[in-house]
Amino acid sequence: AQKVTQAQTEISVVEKEDVTLDCVYETRDTTYYLFWYKQPPSGELVFLIRRNSFDEQNEISGRYSWNFQKSTSSFNFTITASQVVDSAVYFCALAFGVDSNYQLIWGAGTKLIIKP
Amino acid sequence: DAGVIQSPRHEVTEMGQEVTLRCKPISGHNSLFWYRQTMMRGLELLIYFNNNVPIDDSGMPEDRFSAKMPNASFSTLKIQPSEPRDSAVYFCASSHRKTGANVLTFGAGSRLTVL
């Protein structure tokens, strides 16, 4: 079965703290993609990153970093020195296969609250 | 670039009425998606168009829902007749073949309330 689990429903931290959002996935496919999308209070989902299953290199973009570990089927997202503007719901998603990889399997989302 | 444009942003209607949601994708994007978001079921893919052709409509809940894409710059999602359980936020998203069908740019959404 293809599945994405975001066990953390809601996380609340004080500004400038580091925070990690967990994502665990299940798939039998050897070719797949993992994603993070952000949904701020305005409602519009924003693409953050896509990784393919053959690239386990971690990625850093400013205060954002992603840790992809196939051994634990996880694709975790860390925000360093969090800011109030990071407050949003964050979704992890999975796409698999070749012809069907337009179909995203979405996690339930983690609501991140950054307090000033 | 104006991004993906959806209208209306909010719609309140009574049960039994017809609802039409509209979407203008990003120019040059060849794939278009309609999603529905609810607290209970999260994000659900309703239909996927590629080059204006419906490829996968398996997520369309029932015959009351229909979607069209008459050209590359416009799509509609119609619900007729509407029911209270259709209340949700409906998102349109588009993507470009170069980045891949699954790298989506979403619109701001249309919040539908059916009374």
Average pLDDT over residues A67-89: 96
Instruction: Please judge whether B89 and A43 are an interchain contact, meaning their C-beta atoms are less than 8 angstroms apart.
Output: yes
Chain B residues closer than 8 Å to A33 by CB: 100, 102
Asked whether the predicted pLDDT for residue A99 surpasses 80, the reply is no
Chain B residues closer than 8 Å to A50 by CB: 100, 102-103
Main-chain phi, psi angles of A42, to 5 degrees: -65, -20
Question: By the CB < 8 Å criterion, does A24 face chain B?
Answer: no
Asked whether the predicted pLDDT for residue A100 surpasses 80, the reply is no
Mean pLDDT, chain A, rounded, equals 94
Chain B residues closer than 8 Å to A110 by CB: none
CB atoms within 10 A of CB B25: 26
Question: By the CB < 8 Å criterion, does B97 face chain A?
Answer: no
Burial class (CB in 10 A: 0-12, 13-18, 19+), B101: buried
Confidence of residue A105 (pLDDT cuts 50, 70, 90): very high
pLDDT tens for residues B3-49?
999 999 999 999 999 999 999 999 999 999 999 999 999 999 999 99
pLDDT tens for residues A34-59?
999 999 999 999 999 999 999 888 88
pLDDT of residue B64: 96
Asked whether the predicted pLDDT for residue A73 surpasses 90, the reply is yes
Average pLDDT over residues B52-63: 93
Asked whether the predicted pLDDT for residue A23 surpasses 80, the reply is yes
pLDDT of residue B1: 65
Instruction: Please judge whether A46 and B103 are an interchain contact, meaning their C-beta atoms are less than 8 angstroms apart.
Output: no
Going by their DSSP bridges, the two strands A10-14 and A110-115 should be labelled as parallel
